Amino acid sequence: MRAGCFCSLLFYVWLTPLLLLLHRIKASGLKLRFCTNETQATRENFVKKLQGMGFDISVAEVTAPAPAACRILKERSLRPHLLVHNDLVPEFAEIDKANPNCVVIGDAAENFTYANLNEAFRVLIGMEKPVLISLGRGRYYKETDGLKLDVGAYMKALEYACDVQAEVVGKPAEKFFESALAEMGVPAQQAIMIGDDIVNDVGGAQRCGMRAVQVRTGKYRPCDENHPHVKPDAYVNNLAEAVDVILQQL
Amino acid sequence: MRAGCFCSLLFYVWLTPLLLLLHRIKASGLKLRFCTNETQATRENFVKKLQGMGFDISVAEVTAPAPAACRILKERSLRPHLLVHNDLVPEFAEIDKANPNCVVIGDAAENFTYANLNEAFRVLIGMEKPVLISLGRGRYYKETDGLKLDVGAYMKALEYACDVQAEVVGKPAEKFFESALAEMGVPAQQAIMIGDDIVNDVGGAQRCGMRAVQVRTGKYRPCDENHPHVKPDAYVNNLAEAVDVILQQL
C-alpha cells in the first residue's frame, strides 16, 4: 500500500504514523492533499481502505493517476489496451476499449506476466505511431515482503522494444502536481511536498516550483543523498519531524 | 529459433532457405561463421538442432553470448545470479554461483516471471555497485506464434530500476563481432554481415568496420528503412538474393 498526502504540504509516506499527524495538520488550518501513484486499486477503494484505518479522508482529497488518464483518453478518443492491476480495471469502466489504439500501463504486479507483456508489446508495435500511457514512472517500491519493481521499469521495457517515449500520468509529471495544486487552490510557492521517493516526489514537486522534503523512511536509501540531479530542500527522519518543523514555522 | 551465420559474410536469418545456401557459400571457398544471440539453448544443443535439420555446422563455427559471458565471469571472479532460459543453465555449470555478486540476464522467455524479475532486481539493488551482464540487447524477435520481447527490453527494465548500465555480451557489442572475426582470421573490411535486425546485426557490424546487408525477412519491418542512425550498405529481399549478389562479385 502506498499513499501520499498534500497540505500546503504534500506527503508520501507509510501509513502507520499518519493518523494523528493528519489531525494535527488539518487542525492547524493548512490545506492537505493526498497525492498518490497508487494504481493497484480504484481511488474509491484506496480511500475506503484508509477510512477503515481511521483516516479522515475523502475521495475528493486524493489525486491519483487513473482518473487523470481517463480524462486524457476521452479528450483524445483513445481506446486503451490495459496492462494494469485487476483491482484498477473498474476505473476504466466507462472507457471504450474495443480495437485499441493505445496501451495504458500501471503497476500491474502479478499481471506483469511474460504473456501479458508480450501482448501489450504486440498491440503497441502494431500501431503506426505507438501511444503508450504510463500511470507513473516509479522504479521500485517496498512491500512487507521486500522491494518490487514498479511500473517505470516495465514502461522502460516497452519504450525500448517499441522505440517510443511513454506519456507519464502521475508523479513526477508536472501536470499531475499542477492539477493537485489547482484542486487545492494553492500556488506552488506556498506548497511543500513531503515524500520518500527522491525522483518521483522530491524531484517532480521541485520542477513545479514547490519546495520538497525527503523523509528518511520507506523507500528512502542513504545513497539518495548523493543523487546527481535532485537535492531536497530538507531531510527529516520521519513524518512527525516534518510536521513539527512545518507547524513551528506557521 | 534464431540463427546467424558468417562467411567473409555473416548471416542472421530464418533457417528454412539456409540448407542449400550454406553449401553454395562453403563450396565457393568463402569463410563462414554463425554469429547468434541465441540464449535459449547451449551452443552444443543449438548446433545439434541445426545438424538434425541437415546443416553442415560444428560448435567451433558458432559465436554465442553464453560462452563469452563465462569467460568474463571467470576473468573477473564474478558469481552470477542467473535470469536465463532453463536450457541455457548448463553453459554455466562450471561457474561458482554461491553468494552472487552480479546478475546475468539472457532471453529467459517463460522464466521472465514477475517473481523472477523482482528477485534479480533485489540481488542487483543490494550490491554496492550493481553489475548487470546482458546476453544481448535485442528488442524483440519473431516466433511462429508472433513477436516476443527480447532480453534487451528486460535489461532496460533492470537498468532503469537500479540506475545502472548493463554490460552487453552478444550482438551488437563490438567485442562480440571482433571475437568472431578473430576466430575466422578475417579483417573487418573483408567481412559482410547479413542479418534481419537493423540494430543488432547491421548497426553492430558496421561499427566494427564491416559492411552489412539487411534481409527483408524475419524481424525486418519497412520502417527499418527510415532508421535514424543505421543505414545498411544494401538491402536484399531474402538470403538467396544476398548469396547470389556476393558470389557474383567474387
For residue B213, is pLDDT > 60?
yes
Q: Kindly report the nearest CA distance between residue B109 and chain A, in angstroms.
A: 7
Query: A57 by DSSP, 3-state: which?
Result: coil
Amino acid identity of B131? V
pLDDT band for B7, please (50, 70, 90 cuts).
very low
Side-chain half-sphere exposure of A69, counting CA atoms within 13 A: 37
Residue B108 near residue B83 (C-beta atoms within 8 A): yes
pLDDT band for A16, please (50, 70, 90 cuts).
very low
Q: Is A118 at the interface with chain B, CB within 8 A?
A: yes
A187: left (phi over 0), alpha (psi -120 to 50) or beta: beta
- The three three-digit cell numbers of residue A215, written as one number: 523523509
What was the pLDDT predicted at B2? 37
Give CA–CA dist A68/A87, Å, rounded: 17
Give CA–CA dist A124/A130, Å, rounded: 5
Average pLDDT on A173-180 reads 87
B94's CB contacts (< 8 A; 6+ apart) are: B70
Q: Is B110 at the interface with chain A, CB within 8 A?
A: yes
Q: In chain A, which residues have their Cβ closer than 8 Å to the Cβ of B152?
A: 160-161
pLDDT band for B45, please (50, 70, 90 cuts).
very high
Average pLDDT on A5-9 reads 38
Bridge partners, A236 (sequence order): A215
What was the pLDDT predicted at B17? 57
For residue A6, is pLDDT > 70?
no
Q: Kindly report the nearest CA distance between residue A83 and chain B, in angstroms.
A: 13
pTM: 0.78
Q: Kindly report the nearest CA distance between residue B155 and chain A, in angstroms.
A: 8
Query: ∠ at Cα A167 (A162, A168), nearest 5°?
Result: 120
A221's CB contacts (< 8 A; 6+ apart) are: none
DSSP letter string over B170-234? STT-HHHHHHHHHHHT--GGG-EEEES-IIIIIIHHHHTT-EEEEESSTT--GGGGG-SS---SE
Q: In chain B, which residues have their Cβ closer than 8 Å to the Cβ of A230?
A: none
Phi, psi of B99, deg, nearest 5 = 50, 65
* Residue A201: DSSP 8-state: I
Phi, psi of A6, deg, nearest 5 = -105, 165
Q: Is B112 at the interface with chain A, CB within 8 A?
A: yes
Q: Is A156 at the interface with chain B, CB within 8 A?
A: yes
- Label residue A184 exposed, middle or buried (CB < 10 Å: 0-12, 13-18, 19+): buried
Interface test with B, best of A103, A118, A141, A155 (most B CBs within 10 A): A118
For residue B5, is pLDDT > 50?
no
What was the pLDDT predicted at B249? 78
Give CA–CA dist A13/B114, Å, rounded: 25
The closest CB to that of A149, out of B117, B147, B149, belongs to: B117
Amino acid identity of A214? Q
pLDDT band for A248, please (50, 70, 90 cuts).
confident
What was the pLDDT predicted at A211? 94
For residue B3, is pLDDT > 50?
no
For B128, nearest residue in chain A (alpha carbons) = A223
For chain A, what is the mean pLDDT? 89
Q: Is B202 at the interface with chain A, CB within 8 A?
A: no
Q: Is B237 at the interface with chain A, CB within 8 A?
A: no
The closest CB to that of B148, out of A118, A140, A148, belongs to: A118
What tens digit of pLDDT does each residue of B85-124 get? Answer: 999 999 999 999 999 999 999 999 999 999 999 999 999 9
pLDDT band for A53, please (50, 70, 90 cuts).
confident
Side-chain half-sphere exposure of B102, counting CA atoms within 13 A: 21
Q: Kindly report the nearest CA distance between residue A222 and chain B, in angstroms.
A: 12
Query: A2 by DSSP, 3-state: which?
Result: coil
- Biggest CA-to-CA distance, chain A: 57
Give CA–CA dist A147/A156, Å, rounded: 18
For residue B235, is pLDDT > 60?
yes
Residue B106 near residue B10 (C-beta atoms within 8 A): no
pLDDT band for A17, please (50, 70, 90 cuts).
low
Interface test with A, best of B83, B129, B154 (most A CBs within 10 A): B154
Q: How big is the A-B interface in CB pairs under 8 Å?
A: 79
For A155, nearest residue in chain B (alpha carbons) = B157
- Least-confidence region, from A54-58, A118-122, A215-219, A240-244: A54-58
Q: Do A140 and B146 touch (CB under 8 A)?
A: no
For residue B237, is pLDDT > 80?
yes
